[in-house]
Amino acid sequence: MKRSIALSTLLLGATLLGAAPGQGGWPTAVGGRELPSLAPILEKVVPGVVNIHTTSRIRIPEHPLFSDPLFRYFFELPRQTKPREKLERSLGSGVVVDAENGYLLTNHHVIRQAERIVVALNDGRNVQATRVGEDPETDVAVIRIEPDQLTALPRADSDRLRVGDFVVAIGNPFGLGSTVTSGIVSALGRSGLGIEGYEDFIQTDASINPGNSGGALIDLEGQLVGINTAILARGGGNVGIGFAIPINMAHEIMGQLIAHGEVRRGLLGVQTQDLTPELATAFNLKRTGGAVVSQVVPRSGADRAGLRPGDVVIAANGRPVRSAAGLRNVVGLVRVGQKVKLEYLRDGETLEAEAVVTQPETIQMQGREVDPRFEGAVFELVPGTGGDDEESGIRLLVVRQGSPAWGIGLRPKDRLVMVNNMKVKDFEELTRVLRTNQTKMLLNIQRNGEGLLILVR
């Protein structure tokens, strides 16, 4: 009886998954008793997904006592001429997207700090790769190998994905080698996860595990729809919640990385917040979802386009905007000098405007003007690019070695988030906070995407 039920279930699955030849690549399922298989598609696609092996040199932190010269003298410890380091090896995946020029897409975190990048091709070859460019904000990176007998994956339009579409994840989980898992699209446009700066993830229940990062997410036609990047799991294993960067976003980033080695983001000139049900009621709107303009930067593209505080942006470049992060994602892909077409609500009327994305201008201030303990540092005030403006605020442009600022632990590119547990977004707020307590400072710093606390007495 159990065998009969199992056979019926199997045949039912074959009936549901069966399709005429040429539709999604599935073979006939029931007519010839042939079970559905992804093998014909994978035979074409798997050679375009590679394994990536990296070697990094990591500094080993020492106990504070070992940096004390009196301690070293008392215990007759030899003087350290250079910090201790160790070699760290890691594994990941990548996707060949341009066989003619040898370009591969992967994740920034796969090759971050890597001194050596080796690509293991599906045919058994191991070749050394060069770094083309990286974008930590989207976790996208481009590397290049010699274009010798490579197989590139065709690119799909990820904007046409729907929840429920079948997808297949290909990568190198736990260093096992090329591995294939399947599932469906569980959700689209996932953001607010705190994984990266620009988040517009495809969520899938296809098994994605450590080592899958940088691998391919394909549809049933063998076309690339996303780059696998993260999992949501407390124990580090797969629990059916994985995330991939949409290939449309990754492709736009790749173009800038190949052209400039970095992403040159522009300024729209707005600060926005999510349209909550409470704000929708206050604005007498019958909809939820959108980005409410809270501030417009004078003489910016948004200002010249006529945007005002209180406007609710509902679409950008033809894409629906459901949150401040959604607007930021669209603007983050627009190059300086290009226009972004906005659709917004004002006083119950739907309006349209075109705003030119401009080069961000920064305001600088010498550290000594803020506090003597910041001597040797140059702060810059970075305006937001649009959306929730997580990139805006105070950043360290220069920190001179041997200066007081260097001595307290500040480094170039640090972002000053909080001082004495109070947020600081501009020089006026920073000065006001320091004026209330001049004896000590607790600095909350963001460095390379990680938080850091520095106590200054």
Among 385, 290, 390, which Cα is nearest to 338's? 385
| Rounded-to-integer distance, Cα 198 and Cα 245, Å | 10
For residue 185, tell me if it sits in a domain: yes
How many other β-carbons are positioned within 10 Å of the β-carbon of residue 113? 13
Q: Are residues 367 and 352 in the same domain?
A: no
Of residues 53, 93, 108, 109, which has the active-site annotation? 109
Task: Single out the residue in 341, 356, 371 at which a domain terminates.
Answer: 356
Strands, E assignment, 195-282: 201-204, 216-218, 224-231, 242-246, 270-274
Residue 199 lies in a domain: yes
Residue with the bigger pLDDT between 20 and 401: it is: 401
Residue 254 scores a pLDDT above 90: yes
Min mean pLDDT across 35-44, 180-189, 381-390 is at 381-390
Q: Quick check: 341 pLDDT over 90?
A: yes
What's the pLDDT band for 306 if we cut at 50, 70, 90? very high
* CA distance readout (Å), 101 to 98, 104, 142: 6, 9, 12
Q: DSSP label at 38?
A: S
Are 119 and 100 in a shared domain?
Answer: yes
Candidates 178, 213, 300, 392; catalytic one: 213
Question: What is the structure's pLDDT at 143?
Answer: 95
In the annotation, is 108 catalytic?
no
More confident residue, 31 or 365: 365
Q: What is the pLDDT of residue 241?
A: 84
Looking at the predicted structure, is the pLDDT value of residue 191 above 80?
no
Are 248 and 275 in the same domain?
no
Instruction: Give the residue among 203, 136, 137, 213 at the shortest CA–CA distance from 170.
Output: 213
Q: What is the DSSP string of 136-152?
A: TTTTEEEEE---SS--P
pLDDT-derived band at 4 (thresholds 50, 70, 90) equals very low
438 and 372 share one domain = yes
Residues 417 and 452 in one domain: yes
The 8 Å CB, 24+ separation contacts for 273-277 are: 273/324, 273/388, 274/323, 274/324, 275/312, 275/323
**114, 69 Cβ separation under 8 angstroms:** no
The answer as to whether 341 is a domain residue is: yes
Q: Of 144, 179, 210, which residue constitutes the final position of a domain?
A: 144
Beta bridge pairs of residue 104: 96, 143
Asked if the structure places residue 344 within a domain, the reply is yes
Task: Over range 61-67, report the average pLDDT.
Answer: 55
Domain count for the chain? 4
Q: Look at residue 344 and tell me whether its pLDDT is greater than 70.
A: yes
Under the banding of pLDDT at 50, 70 and 90, the label for residue 9 is very low
Mean per-residue pLDDT, 336-357: 90
Q: Do 211 and 240 fall within a single domain?
A: yes
| Tokens matching residue 72 | 């070293």
Collapsing DSSP to helix, strand or coil, 383 comes out as coil
With a pLDDT cut of 70, the percent of the chain lying above it is 80
Are 251 and 280 found together in one domain?
no
- Residues pairing with 143 in the sheet: 104, 131
Question: At 103, which CATH number?
Answer: 2.40.10.10
pLDDT on residue 8: 33
Other CB atoms within a 10 A radius of the CB of residue 323 amount to: 21
Mean pLDDT of the chain: 80
Q: Say yes or no to pLDDT of 278 above 60.
A: yes
The 3-state DSSP composition of the chain as helix, strand, coil percent (nearest 5) reads: 20, 35, 40
Q: What is the mean pLDDT of residues 172-181?
A: 79
CATH number of residue 429's parent domain: 2.30.42.10
Model confidence pLDDT, tens digit, residues 71-103 = 555 656 665 555 566 777 888 899 999 999 999
239 has pLDDT over 90: no
| Same domain, yes or no: 325 and 244 | no
Residues 367 and 287: beta-carbon distance below 8 Å = no
Q: Residue 16 pLDDT > 50, yes or no?
A: no
pLDDT at 21 (0 to 100): 42
User: Is residue 28 in a domain?
Assistant: no
Euclidean distance between CA atoms 227 and 156, whole angstroms:
12
d(C-alpha 412, C-alpha 280), whole Å: 41
Q: Would residue 6 count as lying in a domain?
A: no
Report percent pLDDT > 90 for the chain.
Answer: 29
Q: What does the DSSP assignment read for 47-94?
A: GGEEEEEEEEEEEPPPPGGGG-HHHHHHTTPPPPSS--EEEEEEEEEE
Q: 């040797």: which residue's tokens?
A: 376
Give the Å distances, CA to CA, from 173 to 52, 89, 210, 214, 429. Answer: 11, 15, 5, 11, 46
Give residue 7's pLDDT.
31
**Other beta carbons within 10 Å of 337:** 12
Domain that holds residue 398: 363-456
- In-domain check, residue 131: yes
Q: Going by DSSP bridges, is the β-strand pair 319-320/312-316 parallel, antiparallel, or unpaired?
A: antiparallel
Full DSSP string of 190-210: E--SSSSSS--EEEE-S---T
Q: Given a cut of 60, is residue 252 above it in pLDDT?
A: yes
- Domain shared by 162 and 253, yes or no: yes
Q: From the candidates 93, 108, 139, 186, which is the catalytic residue?
A: 139
Taken in order 291, 265, 102, 210, the sign of the CA dihedral is negative
Question: In the predicted model, what is the mean pLDDT of residues 440-457?
Answer: 82
Q: What number is the average pLDDT over the span 44-55?
A: 91
In terms of domains, do 352 and 415 share one? no
Residue 149 maps to a domain: no
pLDDT value of residue 3: 39
Tokens (6 digits) for 195: 């994984």
Q: Which residue has the higher pLDDT, 383 or 248?
A: 248
What is the reported pLDDT for 383?
63
Over residues 410-432, the mean pLDDT reads 85
- Are both 134 and 169 inside the same structural domain? no
Q: What is the pLDDT of residues 142-176, one digit of tens each?
A: 999 999 999 999 999 998 999 999 999 998 877 67
Question: Residue 19 pLDDT > 60, yes or no?
Answer: no
Distance CA 138, CA 71 (A): 45
The answer on 340 and 294 residing in a single domain is yes
Q: Is 8 or 438 the better-scoring residue by pLDDT?
A: 438
Mean pLDDT of 344-367: 86
pLDDT band of 57, cuts 50, 70, 90: confident
The domain boundary residue, chosen from 260, 288, 314: 260
pLDDT at residue number 52: 92
Per-residue pLDDT averaged across 371-383, rounded?
85
Residues with Cβ < 8 Å from 446, sequence gap 6 or more?
A: 414, 415, 417, 452
Burial (CB < 10 A; 0-12, 13-18, 19+), residue 156, is buried
Classify 243 as helix, strand or coil.
strand
Q: What is the pLDDT of residue 261?
A: 87
